[in-house]
Amino acid sequence: MALDVSTLLLPDLREMLQEKDREGLREFCEALHPATVADLLRTLPPEEAWLVLSHTSPQRQAEIFQYLPEAYQHEMINVAPRERLAAIIEAMDPDDRVDLLKSLDEELMEAILPLVARAEREDIRRLLQYPENSVGAVMTTDYVALPEDMTVGAALEQIRLLAPDRETIYYIYVVDKHRHLVGVATLRQLILARPQATLADIMTKDLIKVRVHEDKEKAAHILARYDLLALPVVDGEGRLVGIVTHDDVMDVLVEAATEDVHRLGGIEPLEESYLESPMLTVAWKRGTWLAILFAAELGTRHVLEWGEPIFQQLFLLYAFLPLIMSSGGNSGSQSATLITRALALGQLSPRDWWRVLWRESAMGTLLGVMLGALAVLEALIEADHALRLVPVVASTLAVVVLCGTLIGSLLPLVLRAFGMDPGIASSPFVASIMDVISTLVLVSVAHVVLVLSG
Amino acid sequence: MALDVSTLLLPDLREMLQEKDREGLREFCEALHPATVADLLRTLPPEEAWLVLSHTSPQRQAEIFQYLPEAYQHEMINVAPRERLAAIIEAMDPDDRVDLLKSLDEELMEAILPLVARAEREDIRRLLQYPENSVGAVMTTDYVALPEDMTVGAALEQIRLLAPDRETIYYIYVVDKHRHLVGVATLRQLILARPQATLADIMTKDLIKVRVHEDKEKAAHILARYDLLALPVVDGEGRLVGIVTHDDVMDVLVEAATEDVHRLGGIEPLEESYLESPMLTVAWKRGTWLAILFAAELGTRHVLEWGEPIFQQLFLLYAFLPLIMSSGGNSGSQSATLITRALALGQLSPRDWWRVLWRESAMGTLLGVMLGALAVLEALIEADHALRLVPVVASTLAVVVLCGTLIGSLLPLVLRAFGMDPGIASSPFVASIMDVISTLVLVSVAHVVLVLSG
């Protein structure tokens, strides 16, 4: 396994550094996968990392640099000569270098940019302008675009020239004189075609593409759906402006899933990894939701005080309250989780509300009756002093579980229909709503039973 | 957008079917992306779908068939002549056809298999033997493997012959006489190399590979980490047996995230999409957890009955119980979510327990004091009859929130350390544990305060 190899190499690396083994260090930088080199480099102090990197070309340095975690990149930037930094930035992939520059403070960025070659600088400024979550923010401009009247033979010749600095040469985008995207050909198609054919003859015209201002998650789902290596990006006039590659899409999908998971757990999504997030940021992202949920939960207190006379008559009823609340909250959490995830995967849309309503009504009734029956069973087994409360508890449970499934399932749909994030309907949020509702139901049912029993 | 185009094409498709437009139907099958064709086909009755498909080659039929949802594939299989089915199965990608066959019942599979060509049949039997979550279950056997002494020129010639039926020709795996994997070369490298060089000269020897019996999620993380198009799979002796491609990895990652989300919401993960899952399966997967959580929650009842004397003295204290329980549950859910996700992404391992313990102790203290202060503030604003309960409530809140962060964060680590799924520590599960603990803390604190105040 590559990861195990890397720890084995660490003593070798230290030795080469100590002995100033120039040839060994060059080979270390060039023979291993850049991600493996990066895994080893980050264990060194940043100054030594620069020393190791100085044994290879700026192109290779940039490849390795791209695999370092952001925090370590910043450490290296802080101790680097500006010119060396500029050379690496020039050699980095357009999308990765823009991500890096965005993470620096404005002042440092403006100090480095003038040192970068003009063509690269303009590319950077162009990419910097796209909003955070748009396709433009994850696309790269290192693609192969060729004219439609070029022959396959000439195209292969051209690709050979472009290969060293294009992110992918496996998809060739075909454009007209005004850079409008008119087709796509794969390198596989080119290899199989007659050299005299033109690109227009062999290209696929059923284009799967995305607009530069659309949501990056949408691009990710399209690329995944069509099993592509890269997705072409066009501007409002249909001109090719970039491509989104499969590796960036994978990152987008994993990041989006993390955001959804965090929201479901009642936290504003963290941007960095758990151990790397600053404590105060985490405290803020957790504290806000804890306070909101606390405020929602104050409702239970008022309902309970309002129901005080009932509880004084049926004193031990309050002992069942947590059981009832948690059952309502759990069934609600389950429904909210299922619906939110189905929405995120595009398997469901708010238009399906009636199918959801039907499924969850049936599910809620089934599960509610089951839990009610469990409560009766438990009371019979224990045969304790609370036996006379059983009708109240069992029927409350059934109603509360049904309410849970309905609220948990419809809330995310309503939020999405109003253009909001369905993830707001997190497990803790639904549980808080259900606590208030459960209390109301319990007090009402108890009231009815007390009146009926005279 | 491709998806919009497809709905526009539906009336055209219907018309071509009515007019028996053979040429039009052939073009429909061949000019569009197979995923787009599949999206349209599934709106037709399965018999008509077969009719449309009969206008193109078995190879193309298989490509389109692979994009249909499983439920619709089964509908089509039920009405298909066995021979036609066998032809499509022969033409399908090895990994996709094994997935399909696994989803059929044994009897039907044994009826179809003898009709499939022998080479394909053996490949199917070999792939069928790998366990569900292993790399073997998602790998394909359609890769390009060439001997190390072959020249680049000869290799390119060979690739041209193999191109039509290999899943990727962009990575060329280099093997020795005994099929041991010794290197990898990209088509890009081949195009840039001298035709006289051998594969051994240009190949990368720092191999990133995975064993056939490892977890498929591990393969997914490796491929994503190294930004590869495909990952070679070897057996115990280092012989190449397959490859895992980027598109399958994307599906593995999305599926794994869905499983994690479902577990966090307190549901056994569903295998199909929400609307396609059979109601009874869902009821079972939800009901089991609801019942387990119900049983756990019975603990609160016993603690409350044990604390009855205290509640009779401080009667309105029970009105604060839901507020306290939910705060403990929420802080616990937040921690469990953060830790579970960090474990899933490989950002954290049980060995980091002391860093987690330190972070969560600080976080729990901070958040606990904040919520305690909020409770004091609220009581002061309302200035109600419950004012004398404030010291009990505020200090209980602080303790309970701290317990929540500690239990929520350590439980997933402990589960993982014992080789169990950390996702068992779902929001509802942690909330249930916290309900019992919150009740215990409240009763204890109230007891102490009562004793102190004489």
Where does the pLDDT of residue A425 fall: very low under 50, low under 70, confident under 90, or very high at 90 and above? confident
Question: Which of the four pLDDT bands, split at 50, 70 and 90, describes residue A1?
Answer: very low
Burial B146-184 (b: 16+ CB within 10 A, else e): bbbebbbebbbebbeeebeebbbbbbbbbbbeebebbbb
Cβ A33–B206 below 8 Å, yes or no?
yes
DSSP state of A268: P
Q: pLDDT class for A117, splitting at 50, 70, 90?
A: confident
Mutation pick from A4, A172, A333 vs chain B, by most beta carbons of B within 10 Å, is A333
Beta carbons of B286 and A367 less than 8 Å apart? yes
Q: What tokens appear for A30 in the block?
A: 């060039």
CA-based nearest distance B118→chain A, Å: 28
Cross-chain residue pair A224–B279, CB shorter than 8 Å: no
Strand order in the sheet with A230-234: A210-211, A230-234, A240-245
Which residues, including other chains, have CB under 8 Å from residue A330's CB and lie 6 or more apart? Answer: A404, A431, B266, B289, B290, B293, B428, B431, B432
More confident of the two residues A152 and A83? A152
Is B316 in Cβ contact with A321 (below 8 Å)? no
How far apart, in whole angstroms, are the C-alpha atoms of residue B442 and residue B307? 9
Query: Average pLDDT, whole number, for chain B?
Result: 89
Which amino acid makes up residue B9?
A: L
Alpha helices by DSSP H, listed for A345-385, are: 353-382
List the one residue out of B389, B433, B444 whose CA is nearest residue B411.
B433
In sequence order, the 6+-apart residues with CB closer than 8 A to the CB of A321 are A438, A439, A442, B318, B321, B322
pLDDT at B1: 36
Sheet containing strand A171-175, strands side by side: A145-147, A171-175, A181-186
pLDDT tens track for B182-212: 999 999 999 889 999 999 999 998 889 999 9
pLDDT at position A437, please? 93
Measured from the Cβ of residue A15, the count of other Cβ atoms closer than 10 Å reads 11
The label of the residue with tokens 């450490």 reads: A75
Q: Does residue B384 have a pLDDT over 80?
A: no
Cβ atoms within 10 Å, residue A161: 10
AA letter at A377? L
What pLDDT is attached to residue A103?
86
CA–CA separation, B217 and B134 (whole Å): 8
Chain A residues inside the 8 Å CB shell of B330: 266, 289-290, 293, 428, 431-432
| For residues B442-454, average pLDDT | 83
Angle in degrees, 0-180, between the axes of helices A70-78 and A46-53, rounded to the nearest 10: 80
Chain A from 53 to 112: CB within 8 A of any B CB = none
Spatial distance between the Cα atoms of A230 and A214, rounded to a whole number of angstroms: 16
One-letter-per-residue 3-state SS of B68-112: CCHHHHHHHHHCCCHHHHHHHHHHCCHHHHHHHHHHCCHHHHHHH
> In this predicted structure, what is the pLDDT of residue B7?
64
Whether B233 and B211 have beta carbons less than 8 Å apart is answered as: yes
Residue B332 host element (H or E): helix B321-344
User: Looking at CA atoms only, how far is residue A415 from chain B in angstroms?
Assistant: 18
The reported pLDDT for the residue numbered A5 is: 54
Evaluate whether B367 touches A290 at the Cβ level (below 8 Å). Answer: yes
Whether the per-residue pLDDT at A249 is higher than 80: the answer is yes
Q: Hey, which residues 398-437 in chain A have their CB within 8 Å of chain B?
A: 401, 427-428, 431-432, 435
Q: How far away is chain A from the Cα of B345, in angstroms, using its nearest Cα?
A: 9
The two structure tokens encoding residue A160:
């050979």
Q: Using only the alpha carbons of chain A, give its radius of gyration.
A: 30
Contact A297 B326 (CB under 8 A): yes
How confident is the model at residue B6, as a pLDDT? 57
- Residue B443: phi and psi, rounded to 5, are -60, -40
Give Dmax (Cα) for chain B.
97
Q: Do B264 and A264 touch (CB under 8 A)?
A: yes
How far apart are the C-alpha atoms of B381 and B257, rounded to whole Å? Answer: 44
Q: Closest partner residue to A206 among B36, B298, B345, by Cβ? A: B36
Interface of A with B in 2-31 (CB under 8 A): 2, 31
CA distance B285 to chain A (A): 10
CB distance B116 to B98 below 8 Å? no
Quote the tokens at residue A261: 């998971």
Q: What pLDDT shows up at residue B454?
A: 62
Interface of A with B in 242-271 (CB under 8 A): 246-247, 249-251, 253-254, 257-258, 260-262, 264-267, 270
Are A270 and B319 a contacting pair at CB < 8 A?
Answer: no
Chain A residue numbers with beta carbons less than 8 Å from the beta carbon of B247 are 224, 227, 246
Residue reference for tokens 């809620």: A364
Q: How many residues does chain B have?
A: 454
Contact between A305 and B321 using a beta-carbon 8 Å cutoff? no
* DSSP secondary structure string for all residues of A5-17: HHHHHHHHHHHHH
pLDDT value at residue B2:
39
Q: Read off the pLDDT of residues B65-114 as tens digits, 9 standing for 90 and up.
A: 999 988 899 999 989 888 888 889 999 999 889 989 888 888 888 888 88
pLDDT of residue A34: 92
Q: What is the dihedral of CA B63, B67, B68, B70, to 10 degrees?
A: 110
Cβ–Cβ gap B254/A290 under 8 Å: no
Helices A58-65 and A22-31 cross at an angle (nearest 10°) of 60
Contacts of A119 (CB under 8 A, 6+ apart): none
Of A324, A303, A333, A312, the residue nearest A400 (C-alpha):
A324
- Residue B441 pLDDT more than 70? yes
β-pair partners for A215 = A134
Kindly state the tokens that stand for A107: 């002042």
**Which H or E element spans position B252?**
helix B246-264
- Answer yes or no: is pLDDT of A173 > 80: yes
Which of A39, A140, A249, A261 is most worth mutating to test chain B (most B CB atoms within 10 A of its CB)? A261
Strand partners for A174:
A146, A183
Per-residue pLDDT tens digits for B256-279: 999 999 998 889 999 888 888 888
Interacting residues of B60 by C-beta distance below 8 A, sequence separation 6+: B29, B30, B34
Give CA–CA dist A18/A128, Å, rounded: 41
Contacts of B44 (CB under 8 A, 6+ apart): B13, B17, B52
Q: What is the mean pLDDT of residues A41-53?
A: 92
- Report the relative pairing of strands A240-245 and B144-147 from DSSP bridges: unpaired
Average pLDDT of A183-199?
93
- Contact between A266 and B293 using a beta-carbon 8 Å cutoff: no
> Average pLDDT in the B314-326 region?
85
Average the pLDDT over A233-253 and give the result.
Answer: 93
What digits encode the pLDDT tens for the residues A82-99? 888 888 999 999 988 998
Element (H, E) at A146: strand A145-147
> What's the CA gap between B5 and A206, in Å, rounded?
10
> Across the interface, do B250 and A246 touch by the CB < 8 Å criterion?
yes
User: Could you give the C-alpha distances from A351 to A299, A357, A422, B414, B418, in angstroms and in order?
Assistant: 32, 11, 14, 42, 44
Query: Is B338's CB within 8 Å of A206's CB?
Result: no
Contact between chains at A2 and B222 (C-beta distance less than 8 A):
yes
Tokens linked to A37: 């080199």
Is B380 an interface residue toward A (CB < 8 Å)?
no
What gap in Å lies between CA B308 and CA A420, rounded to an integer? 45
Per-residue pLDDT at B382 exceeds 80: no
Cα–Cα distance for residue pair A3/B123, rounded to 1 Å: 31
Q: Does the pLDDT at position A445 exceed 50?
A: yes
Say if residues B334 and B327 touch (Cβ distance below 8 Å). Answer: no
From chain B residues 192-211, the ones with a CB under 8 A of any chain A CB are 192, 204-210
- Report, as an integer, the average pLDDT of A26-42: 90
The pLDDT value given to residue B5: 53
Please list the alpha-helical segments (H only) found in B144-215. 152-162, 187-192, 199-202
Number of other residues whose CB lies within 10 A of the CB of residue A2:
18
Contact at CB, B427 and A432, closer than 8 angstroms: no
Chain B: give the shortest CA distance to residue A128, in Å: 23
pLDDT value, residue B154: 95
- Chain A CB contacts of B317 under 8 Å are none
pLDDT at A410 over 50: yes
Using alpha carbons, list the distances in angstroms from residue A333 to A5, B39, B202.
44, 32, 55
Q: How many residues does chain A have?
A: 454
Residues B260, A260: contact at Cβ < 8 Å? no
Ordered by where they begin, the domains of chain B are 2-129 (1.25.60.10), 144-246 (3.10.580.10), 274-452 (1.10.357.20)
Which tokens sit at B288? 């089991």
Q: Is the pLDDT of residue A315 over 80?
A: no
Q: Which residues between 31 and 60 in chain A have a beta carbon less than 8 angstroms from any beta carbon of chain B?
A: 31-33, 35-36
Are B169 and B162 in contact, with CB atoms under 8 Å apart? Answer: yes
Quote the tokens at residue B249: 């990895």
Instruction: Quote the ipTM score.
Output: 0.84
Look at A49-63, A226-240, A264-278, B136-150 and tell me which has the smallest mean pLDDT: A264-278
- The answer to whether residue A180 scores a pLDDT higher than 60 is yes
Give the pLDDT score at B147: 96
Cβ atoms of B185 and B208 within 8 Å: the answer is no
Q: Which residues of A touch B169 (CB under 8 A)?
A: 188, 191
Q: Which residue in chain A is spatially nearest to B425 when comparing CA positions?
A: A265
Cα A202 to Cα A163, B5, B154: the distances in Å are 21, 22, 25
Residue B366 phi, psi (nearest 5): -60, -55
Angle, in degrees to the nearest 10, between helices A2-18 and A46-53: 90
Cβ distance A330 to B222 less than 8 Å, yes or no, reads no
The DSSP call for residue A383 is T
Taking CA atoms, what residue in B is nearest to A425? B265
